[in-house]
Each structure stands twice: as structure tokens, then as C-alpha cells.
Amino acid sequence: MSVRYDGQVAIVTGSGAGLGRSHALALAARGAKVVVNDLAARDGSMSAGALSVVAEIEAAGGEAIANGANVADMAQVQTMVEQVMEKWGRIDILVNNAGILRDKSFANMPIEDFQLVVDVHLIGSVNCTKAVWDIMKAQKYGRIAMTTSSSGLYGNFGQANYGAAKMAVVGFMNTLCIEGEKYGIKVNCLSPTARTAMTEDLIEDKRVLEMMTVESVTTGLLALVAEDSPNRSILGCGAGGYARAVIKETDGIYLTPEQQTPENILANWSDIEEESNAVELKAGWMQTNKYVGKAAASLGVDLSSK
């Protein structure tokens, strides 16, 4: 099986450098027409990085255009999408990659830095996804990749803003994959670790940085936006390692109404956190069904009859 994107149009945000640049080049190399989005300068001039990536793609025989939209500004995102539709008439792939860092301990973090990071990572992903959603629905086809992070999934000191935004895009994905499935739209999350301008100052061992190539992460991205991609998956990628992160819920316990006290919850904590029977719940109603099912079984209520 060969993964190709011939005839498809891809938007990659934040693709003037780093992971985004790698994503854009790889998609173009496999046949996609690519929108290289990178924030324009304050005077409105196009990002030198975006122009450079477009030039590389064109030199290799591909098609690409540069775009300077600020993903946190819905009006700019809508203008970008309109321009893409006018030029190519469709949008098949959206890679929400644009991001920034404003790292500080939460105690020392200005609320403005929290808001800015959320605006770029979360609202930027929402804006871009909203702008292409109806197009993909009409086409009955779409592939969307959110960029999450281990900082969101597992936590990282000094990144409360970044971690909150990165976990939020997982929740965003969880609902979109349900709403989009009948329209042929699949939504996944990429959780990368790579040597980029955002990370190289944080890792001192140069040998580690040499292993953490952006290309190894892009390999995972290409799989998430392929025609045969999974749906509702969080793919961790870094240094050639690939794994799926899964949110599971333990089987837990049931307490009768008279037993439902905080003291009993704490007294039974070891049973509540017992992981041997943990399962992945793929929609919110599955949690409700589980809890109600336990209650009904305890009370002898047959929910199958009315």
C-alpha cells in the first residue's frame, strides 16, 4: 500500500519552519497541493519561512501557495479558506500545527500569557476546523489532524497554559470524530516530540536532539491524514517511536444511596482506581450507561423493559 495525496489539497498551519515545514514538504512530495500558512509580519508582508517552503515545493515540481493568516483571527482564517477554494476548489486535509510557548510556573504566569497560548493552540484549531468543516461535509471527505502534546496528556512544569490548550484539542477531536464520521471526515491527534525551535533550548544533550528529527514525527502525521487513516486516535511520535495514547476509565464501584458519602469513596479508593478492568469509552453516553447499569443491577431494575 502506497500512501499518496494526488489531487488533494492540504492546509498546514504554522508551516514556515519546524514540524509544520516538514509536514508541508512531505505532503507535497506525495502529491498534495499545499497551503503553507505562517503568520505574516506586522507590516503584512509574507513570512520568509512560508515563501521558502513554497519555493522548495515548487522546485521539486509540486504546487503550493503561501498564506499569512493569523489562526486566532477567524476573519483571516475564512479569507484564507476562500482563497484556497477559489484557486483549487476543495480542501481535503487540515493540519492544525500552529503554536507558541509562553512558559512560566503558574504562580508567575500573567493571565495574558495563558490566554494567548489558548487562543493560538485551541481557538486557532477551532477557527481553522470550523472554516473547512462544511466544505469537507459537502465533499463527503476530510482528514483533520490536531496537534496535542505530552504536556497536555501528562503534564509538564511551567506549561499550565500550553498543557490546558493541548488537552483541550483532544476533547475537541473526541466530539468532531463522532459528528464527522457519517460525512467521511476523520479527526485525529498528533502528539509529537521533536527537535524544533520550541524544544531545542530545553534539551541539553545534543545526542538526544539528533535522534528527535522532525521527519520521524511527520511520518506519523502522514498516516493520520491518509485515506486509510484511523479515527479518534492520539498518535505519539518521536525519535522513531510510535504509540497510541488512550484515555481509559476503571470499572469502579457502586454505592447504594445510603452508602454514597465522601468517607465511603475514600475508604474504597483502591477499588475505584483498580486498573485491571479499565476500558476505553468512545462517547460520553457510554459512561452514563455504565453507571446507570451498575445502579440498576444493584437495585434489581430491568432497564430492557418499560
Residue 59 Cα distances to 55, 68, 178, 276, 306, angstroms = 6, 21, 40, 54, 68
Give the residue among 44, 186, 197, 88 at the shortest CA–CA distance from 129: 186
SS (H, E, C) the chain: CCCCCCCCEEEECCCCCHHHHHHHHHHHHCCCEEEEECCCCCCCCCCHHHHHHHHHHHHCCCCEEEECCCCCCHHHHHHHHHHHHHHHCCCCEEEECCCCCCCCCHHHCCHHHHHHHHHHHHHHHHHHHHHHHHHHHHHCCEEEEEECCHHHHCCCCCCHHHHHHHHHHHHHHHHHHHHHHHHCEEEEEEEECCCCCCCCCCCCCHHHHHHCCHHHHHHHHHHHCCCCCCCCCEEEEECCEEEEECCEECCCCCCCHHHCCHHHHHHCHHHHCCCCCCEECCCHHHHHHHHHHHHHHHHCCCCCCC
> Would you please indicate which residues are annotated as catalytic (active-site) residues?
162
- CA-wise closest residue to 226 among 18, 13, 71, 26: 26
